[in-house]
């Protein structure tokens, strides 16, 4: 493993921490949910209306209760994931309402897209879990979308997946379904199986839906990502450090709430902070400033001793082109080398979170593979030093016929899945660009994918639950 790269000095991290504490103490935050206000009141904090004024002792004390790492359990234990420490978890994009097609057109996403993306993530060697809301199924009524999505995540892959964050009730449904799959709520309370995305309402607010979901998951011992998306320049200041301090205040308050409800609740420090473009107002996620937010967030989370979430294959491009590629690599690499643990939006995102593309998904999957290889770093054992091979070949000569080469290249070199390394003439026969190759590839992967069998009895119970809740 490569050592993690820091972008702030220890002193700078402390400055950000202290600024956040000042924000929480002096300005406070609004919580638009009575049960959450009650928790804070019971903890002895000053609450006026929806405004909660925190204290340094409270925040620092509660954040200490959060575990440094935790295991997220999968239907197939081989896919259990440790979130935290040196580990990195890649997964698909989240929440996009559109599918961008290879021919440049865009359409609404559907349940079929959701299922396809779960399958592509299930098949991937580089994506560790299948994520959540991988496409917004606009053909399913809102009230039952979450049920259908969870079912599809369970049925089409045996990797870890995410629960619904759309309010207490839908969180509860997610928990019920997970309990049916894993053998009861007591079982999952001991072994978390769900992780969900709880967003603050920047600046300095949390709404009822997100708080309801956060409380339901914390009570059930399930993991939550508490994330803040500050749009610097519009929902936050046009200053990088100020934005980090604001984001940090919100995330700390959310983590403190989870720890007040259930000490030891697995939480992840989340950031999706980015820029507002000062000409169009558009969110800009493929920017160097976003890469700085990602990198700093990894380090700030390390300072608190909690796992981090940020980054992904983020970009502002409309299609799968060079901009999509270079911006995504910058943000995915920033997340990977600075030690982000949970990388939502690794694969598929285009158009500042508005669209998912299958072709982009395959391209990002390749990038994830490249980065996983990069992160492994160097091998310093005898094979890695390769002195014997060097001695055998001596001056002049070549290594292509060495046993060491034949054996070791498989260990140390990565074979690309999508990138083209052919000679020019060979490539010229079909002249396929990345978008076109990826288009062929995802269809092949889907056609060949066989979802891991799901116990018939459990399947039946899940379907019954959905029928009863619909």
Partner 1 sequence: MNELFSELKQAIIDGDEDIVEELSQKVIDESINPVDAVQEGLIKGIEVVGELWKAGEVFLPDVMMSAEAMKVGLGLLEPEIAKLGMSEGESKGKIVLGTVEGDIHDIGKNITGAMFTAAGYKVFDIGTDIKAEDFVLKAQEVGADIIGASALLTTTMSAQKQIIDYLIEHNLKDQFKVFIGGGPTSQAYADEIGADGWAESADEAVALADRMLAK
x-marked contacts with ligand B12 along 385-424 as a string, rule CB under 6 A: ----------------------------------------
Residue 201 is a binding residue for ligand B12 (CB under 6 A): yes
Residue 283 is a binding residue for ligand B12 (CB under 6 A): yes
* Contacts for 246 with CB less than 8 Å, ≥ 6 apart: 20, 23, 202, 203, 204, 228, 230, 236, 237
* Contacts for 322 with CB less than 8 Å, ≥ 6 apart: none
- Single out the segment in contact with partner 1 by CB under 8 A; choices: 68-76, 177-185, 251-259, 274-282: 274-282
Instruction: Rule CB under 6 A: choose which of 28, 84, 92, 95 binds ligand B12.
Output: 95
Could you give the angle at which helices 168-182 and 208-219 cross, rounded to 10 degrees?
30
CB of 145 to ligand B12, least distance (A): 9
Which of the listed partners (partner 1, ligand B12, none) does 307 bind, with a CB threshold of 5 to 8 Å by partner kind? none
d(CA 420, CA 433): 9
Which residue, 138 or 436, has its beta carbon nearer to partner 1? 138
Residue 96 is a binding residue for ligand B12 (CB under 6 A): yes
Please report, as residue ranges, which positions from 43 to 82 form the binding site for ligand B12 (by CB under 6 A): none
Contact 268, 69 (CB under 8 A): no
Q: How far apart are the first and last CA of the chain?
A: 47
Region of 226 on the Ramachandran plot (φ > 0 left; ψ -120 to 50 alpha; else beta): beta
Which of the listed partners (partner 1, ligand B12, none) does 229 bind, with a CB threshold of 5 to 8 Å by partner kind? ligand B12
Please report, as residue ranges, which positions from 69 to 98 form the binding site for partner 1 (by CB under 8 A): 97-98
CB of 387 to ligand B12, least distance (A): 52
Instruction: Rule CB under 6 A: choose which of 154, 231, 257, 350 binds ligand B12.
Output: 231
Residue 352 is a binding residue for ligand B12 (CB under 6 A): yes
Which of the listed partners (partner 1, ligand B12, none) does 142 bind, with a CB threshold of 5 to 8 Å by partner kind? partner 1
Radius of gyration from C-alpha coordinates of the chain: 23
Residue 206 is a binding residue for partner 1 (CB under 8 A): no
x-marked contacts with partner 1 along 151-190 as a string, rule CB under 8 A: ----------------------------------------
Instruction: Count interface residues toward ligand B12 (CB under 6 A).
Output: 19
Which of the listed partners (partner 1, ligand B12, none) does 220 bind, with a CB threshold of 5 to 8 Å by partner kind? none
d(CA 268, CA 398): 50
- Single out the segment in contact with partner 1 by CB under 8 A; choices: 66-74, 149-157, 271-279, 422-430: 271-279
Nearest to 161 by CA among 150, 175, 170, 147: 150
C-alpha angle with apex 71: 272 to 61, nearest 5 degrees? Answer: 65
Residue 353 is a binding residue for ligand B12 (CB under 6 A): yes
* Contacts for 29 with CB less than 8 Å, ≥ 6 apart: 51, 52, 54, 204, 205, 206, 249, 250, 253
CB of 10 to ligand B12, least distance (A): 30
Which residue, 128 or 146, has its beta carbon nearer to partner 1? 146
Q: In what order do the strands lie in the sheet with 29-31?
A: 46-48, 51-53, 29-31, 205-206
Nearest to 129 by CA among 170, 163, 102, 103: 163
- Single out the segment in contact with partner 1 by CB under 8 A; choices: 181-189, 277-285, 293-301, 366-374: 277-285
Instruction: Rule CB under 8 A: choose which of 164, 235, 341, 441 binds partner 1.
Output: 235
d(CA 414, CA 417): 9
Residue 247 is a binding residue for ligand B12 (CB under 6 A): no
DSSP string, 126-193: S----BS-SS--TTS-HHHHHHHHHHHHHHH-SS-EE---SSHHHHHHHHHHHHHHHT-HHHHHHS--
Instruction: Rule CB under 8 A: choose which of 136, 158, 316, 366 binds partner 1.
Output: 136
The residue assigned the tokens 């638009």 is 32
What is the number of residues in the chain?
Answer: 470
CB of 143 to partner 1, least distance (A): 10
Residue 316 is a binding residue for partner 1 (CB under 8 A): no
Residues that bind partner 1 (CB under 8 A): 97-98, 108, 136, 138, 142, 201, 207, 231, 233-235, 238, 276, 278-281, 354
Enumerate binding residues for ligand B12 (CB under 6 A): 94-97, 136, 165, 199, 201-202, 229, 231, 235, 280-283, 352-354
């Amino acid at each position: 493993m490569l050592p993690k790269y820091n972008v702030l000095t220890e002193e700078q991290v402390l400055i950000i921490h202290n600024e956040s504490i000042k924000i929480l103490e002096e300005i406070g935050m609004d919580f638009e949910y009575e049960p959450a206000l009650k928790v804070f009141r019971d903890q002895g904090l000053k609450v006026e209306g929806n405004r909660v004024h925190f204290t340094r002792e409270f925040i620092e004390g509660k954040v200490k209760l959060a575990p440094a790492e935790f295991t997220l359990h999968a239907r197939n234990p081989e896919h259990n994931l440790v979130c935290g420490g040196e580990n990195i978890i890649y997964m698909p994009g989240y929440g996009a309402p559109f599918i961008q097609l290879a021919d440049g057109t865009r359409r609404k996403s559907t349940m079929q897209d959701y299922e396809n993306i779960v399958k592509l993530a299930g098949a991937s060697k580089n994506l560790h879990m299948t994520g959540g809301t991988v496409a917004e199924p606009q053909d399913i009524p809102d009230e039952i979308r979450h049920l259908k999505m969870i079912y599809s995540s369970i049925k089409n892959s045996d990797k870890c997946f995410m629960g619904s964050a759309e309010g207490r009730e839908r969180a509860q449904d997610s928990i019920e379904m997970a309990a049916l799959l894993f053998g009861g709520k007591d079982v999952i309370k001991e072994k978390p199986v769900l992780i969900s995305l709880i967003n603050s309402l920047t600046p300095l607010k949390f709404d009822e839906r997100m708080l309801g979901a956060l409380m339901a998951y914390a009570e059930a011992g399930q993991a939550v990502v508490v994330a803040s998306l500050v749009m610097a320049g519009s929902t936050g200041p046009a200053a990088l450090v100020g934005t980090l301090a604001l984001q940090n205040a919100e995330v700390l308050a959310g983590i403190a709430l989870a720890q007040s409800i259930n000490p030891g609740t697995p939480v992840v420090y989340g950031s999706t902070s980015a820029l507002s473009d000062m000409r169009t107002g558009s969110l800009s996620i493929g920017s160097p400033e976003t890469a700085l937010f990602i990198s700093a967030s990894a380090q700030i989370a390390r300072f608190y001793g909690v796992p981090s979430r940020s980054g992904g294959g983020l970009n502002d491009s409309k299609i799968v082109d060079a901009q999509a590629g270079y911006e995504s690599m910058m943000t995915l690499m920033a997340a990977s080398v600075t030690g982000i643990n949970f990388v939502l939006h690794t694969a598929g995102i285009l158009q500042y979170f508005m669209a998912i593309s299958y072709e982009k998904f395959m391209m990002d999957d390749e990038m994830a593979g490249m980065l996983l290889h990069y992160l492994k770093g160097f091998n310093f054992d005898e094979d890695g030093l390769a002195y014997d091979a060097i001695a055998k070949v001596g001056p002049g000569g070549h290594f292509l016929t060495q046993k060491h080469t034949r054996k070791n290249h498989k260990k140390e070199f990565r074979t690309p899945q999508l990138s083209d390394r052919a000679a020019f003439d060979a490539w010229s026969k079909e002249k396929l660009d990345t978008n076109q190759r990826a288009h062929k590839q995802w269809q092949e992967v889907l056609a060949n994918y066989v979802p891991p069998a799901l116990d018939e009895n459990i399947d039946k119970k899940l379907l019954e639950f959905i029928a009863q809740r619909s």
